[in-house]
Amino acid sequence: MLGIDFTNALPKILIILIVMSCLTSLTSVSGEAATWITNISMQESETGKAIGEGDPLLSGGIYVVHVNITIPLKADIEVVAYTQLEWDGQDALWKVMEDPAGAVKSFDPRLNEISFVPKAKDVKLVLDIVGRVPRGITMKSIDGLTLHLKTPIKPILLEVKDGSPLDYFEKVAIDADIAAFDNKLEQKEVFLNEVRNEVDDKWFSLASSVVDYSESLAAKGFTDNASEILGFIPSNRDEVPLKPVEKNPWMANVSYVSIGILGILATIGLAQWSRARSKSSAYEYLLKEQVKKLEVLRVRSERVDPRFASEVGELKETIKRVLGGE
């Protein structure tokens, strides 16, 4: 029989069991089963307009976030609530609307975090956040270029202090340039859907390719050029080749198309990249991607407008030469 002193071992066993119990409790809190944020709504601060589930937030805009937190357990932990919104310099960033258990600790209403202790289970805590979306959140500079990118933003994030995340609410931030492109894209897509059964199939395929190409540039942050490319797509039936095709007024003006191609060249910084002979990984990746997309566009455009296809092919070959260091 093993000589184990259970009298001395029992306290150690109890400590281990307590630690394991705490770890299990925290795991359930931070896992998917535990929901802390039980209701949330947003609105524009100035107009009171409600922000829908899929609506983006505009950089520089001030929003009111109304948050209901239902504490799922009683625990001796400190929970920190963060926001990526900024204090607008006037109203308090945080407002405690309901706190029946007195869970919220003292805080500076101008800072982007407050904390509370879950003193009782199933108690509701109601917070308001009045803050501004950072103005530069959607802008990113790469090798001298300014890109405009849709960017995730968390109006509220809950986590254990010095521990794991518990729950969060996320939106997407955009700026005026991105919003303008999205509006223009929606208009062109609506128009193309309206005339889909009336226009020449080859023209529709080419127009769809141009739209896809503009979206790919916008997704990389080149919203200005992407918007210009969408300008190649007409907005009324008088400018599109109907069935059967007798002429192609959409791309009859070769000089206008050439200006657009030169716009692509300028926007992606090809001339600057060529002069500097810089092997920037960001540029190199982008340019190689454009070569592939332009080849698809060239092939689809050959049967509709050979002159436009030639312009696209020349741009593709120019990019390939630059990538080769010529």
Residue 279: pLDDT band by 50, 70, 90 thresholds?
Answer: very low
CA distance 134 to 11: 53
Lowest-confidence range among 1-15, 75-89, 173-187?
A: 1-15
Contact 148, 177 (CB under 8 A): yes
Contact 30, 166 (CB under 8 A): yes
User: What percent of the chain lies above the pLDDT cut of 70?
Assistant: 69
Say yes or no: 161 and 185 in one domain: no
Number of domains in the chain: 2
Say yes or no: 302 and 184 in one domain: yes
Beta-carbon count within 10 A of 37 CB:
18
Residue 230: pLDDT band by 50, 70, 90 thresholds?
Answer: confident
User: Among residues 154, 174, 194, which one ends one of the domains?
Assistant: 174
CA 205 from centre of chain = 28
Contact 156, 129 (CB under 8 A): yes
pLDDT at 300 over 80: no
CA distance 17 to 20: 5
Say yes or no: 234 and 317 in one domain: yes
Which has more confidence, 242 or 254? 242
CA distance 213 to 219: 10
pLDDT of residue 255: 34
Average pLDDT over residues 16-32: 43
Average pLDDT over residues 247-255: 43
pLDDT of residue 228: 83
CA distance 39 to 86: 22
Residue 63: pLDDT band by 50, 70, 90 thresholds?
Answer: very high
Please enumerate in sequence order all residues whose Cβ is within 8 A of that of 96, keeping only pairs 6 or more positions apart, or say none.
104, 114, 125, 126, 127
CA distance 194 to 206: 16
Opening angle at CA 126, ends 123 and 128, nearest 5: 165
Contact 212, 190 (CB under 8 A): no
Average pLDDT over residues 39-45: 97
Q: Give the number of residues written for the chain.
A: 326
Average pLDDT over residues 278-303: 65
Q: Is residue 270 part of a domain?
A: yes
Residue 252: pLDDT band by 50, 70, 90 thresholds?
Answer: very low
pLDDT of residue 64: 97
**Which range among 139-143, 169-173, 308-312, 316-320 has the greatest average pLDDT?**
169-173
pTM: 0.69
CA distance 83 to 110: 11
Domain containing 156 equals: 35-174
CA 84 from centre of chain = 14
For residue 279, count CB atoms less than 10 angstroms from its CB and return exposed for 0-12, middle for 13-18, buried for 19 or more. exposed
Q: Is residue 283 part of a domain?
A: yes
User: Among residues 174, 209, 242, which one ends one of the domains?
Assistant: 174
User: Among residues 126, 158, 174, which one ends one of the domains?
Assistant: 174
DSSP character at residue 245: P
Say yes or no: 202 and 116 in one domain: no
Please enumerate in sequence order all residues whose Cβ is within 8 A of that of 98, keeping only pairs 6 or more positions apart, or say none.
124, 125, 126
